[in-house]
């Protein structure tokens, strides 16, 4: 199913150009990986992350056209967002593991006291 969606997206990109370019759209694969990572492989999360990345891509063109900032600023912002998400996920995972270990230790301690 995901391959069909990817094909439809590619079709809309090619149809909007009217021809197949010599170097097709580059970087969309890495953006897709970043969106999946940010969305935690959930449909709603991926949709929100895709909208965020689309907003940043569109705003980069506007900022570059007005001379306010270059495209690289948006790429750096995307990298910082991905890095922050990975760090937050890791902190949450470690906290969850720590809480599970404490709960298991408490349950074991309660079993020993009862025995």
Residue with tokens 């970043």: 34
Q: Can you give the pLDDT at residue 10?
A: 74
Domain count, the chain: 1
Q: Can you give the pLDDT at residue 113?
A: 75
Range(s) of the domain holding residue 99:
2-114
Assign 21 a pLDDT band (cuts: 50, 70, 90). Answer: low
What is the C-alpha to C-alpha distance for residues 65 and 68, in angstroms, rounded to an integer?
Answer: 8
Q: What's this model's pTM, rounded to 2 decimal places?
A: 0.69
SS (H, E, C) the chain: CHHHHHHHHHHHHHHHHCCCCCCCCCCHHHHHHHHHHHCCCCHHHHHHHHHHHHHHHHHHHHHHHHCCCCHHHHHHHHHHHHHHHHHHHHHHHHHHHHHHHHHHHHHHHHHHHHC
What is the C-alpha to C-alpha distance for residues 28 and 79, in angstroms, rounded to an integer?
Answer: 15
């Amino acid at each position: 199913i995901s391959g069909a969606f990817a094909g439809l997206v590619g079709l809309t990109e090619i149809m909007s150009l009217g021809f197949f370019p010599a170097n097709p759209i580059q970087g969309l694969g890495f953006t897709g990986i970043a969106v999946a990572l940010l969305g935690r492989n959930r449909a709603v999360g991926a949709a929100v992350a895709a909208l965020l990345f689309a907003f940043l891509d569109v705003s980069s063109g506007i900022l570059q056209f007005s001379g306010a900032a270059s495209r690289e600023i948006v790429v750096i912002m995307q990298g910082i967002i991905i890095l922050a998400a990975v760090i937050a996920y890791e902190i949450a995972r470690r906290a969850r593991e720590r809480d599970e270990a404490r709960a298991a230790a408490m349950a074991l301690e309660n079993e020993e006291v009862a025995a």
